Structure 1
Amino acid sequence: MPNSDLTKKLQILMQRVDISSFKALSRAAGVSEHQILQLRRGKLEQMRVDILLKLSSVLKVPLSELIATFSTVNLVEEKIAPNQELLQEIADLKIEYQRSQLALEQQRELLQQQFQHSSLQLLESLLLQWPTAAQKAQENPQLAAVKILPLVQKPLERLLQTWGVEAIAPVGVELPYDPQLHQLIEGTAQPGELVKVRYIGYLQGEKLLYRAKVSPVT
């Protein structure tokens, strides 16, 4: 059973950092709820040091304070000297944890830059030619939109193809109504009845991104 005093101490620390539940603490620290239960049961000595480091980081308390708060062994009263090897292991793990966090952040930034770069390459013609085309359209309202359309359509198609995004069906197509893939914007229809695509929808692999908006065929 959880120790009520230790549970209350943990809840106080959680309140300081606006964490409302043990499940939320589990997600924020990246540790299992079982590990948090171990802490509440006073079994800190059985927990791995890396778990304690994660909890101390999320709760914004020094590791030494976390250990002093939840350890059932009173080192001062029993005059047990701290184990130097354990202290060194804690220090080494803390440094390694900080390095890992820094490496992950750097990798995240690099991946984001690579994603932005590849996307800009796919949209290059749109970025370079669209402002000029838009200006010409303002100067000449009679300019046919069909002449400008490829500047938007082709880069967009390339981008969606690269990301594995496919249209459910083209606009204007009539097909059997499937409520999993289609959204009625007017009228009613039963599954299998013919509907007409008014706004396109998209799939990415097996994942539905947007349902196609359809209306009944009268």
Structure 2
Amino acid sequence: MISSNSPNRLRQLMQQVGLTTYKALSEATGVSEKQIRKLRRGQIAQMRVETLEKLGRVLQVSVGELVGIGEQEVVSGRDEVGELRREYDRLQAQLLQQRQELWQEFQQSSVQVLESLLLQLPTAAYAAQQNPQAPAVKLLPLLRPIEALLQHWGIEAIAAVGSEVPYDPQQHQLMEGTAAVGDRVRVRYTGYRQGDKLLYRAKVSPVVS
């Protein structure tokens, strides 16, 4: 006898008598596939006793056991739906993670391509602001779309070119001289970070008092 805890007991009983499909079961018993679907859905109350007896004779089980099979089919179907839903959720989460990783890789490769521009242009723009008559002033409009792109990607400058800040070797790179942690330094080339990740350290020089 098939255990009441066995998954898909109807299919197991079919296999025991050499039937591999529900269509084959229908042909062997003379019971329509529609009626067999009712059994699989646990809709026993909608089936005639004569129909259950036909199925029972071929499957070699009692009508009472067929009722149990119908109930187990419903439980098994629910389990399969639940498993499919969990697998779907897992794949969705995996796909989302892959998209995020690809997006981050694209941003990083783009930043590497634009590295020279990102590091040099703010310094040129600062120089242009100090001397509005200099040809470099024409570079200022070029900064706006780049700044908008960096903001969209969550990339921010560590400090503005020309500003004086306390020296932090984790964020700053000395271009000349020496400085202790906390000493005043002037930013000559800006650096960048993205969230908690440091992309480029700002290049600084000691402030001579």
Classify the TM-score, shorter chain.
0.3 to 0.5
Larger radius of gyration: 2
TM-score in terms of structure 2 length = 0.37
Of structures 1 and 2, the one scoring higher in RCO (CA 8 A, sep 6+) is 2
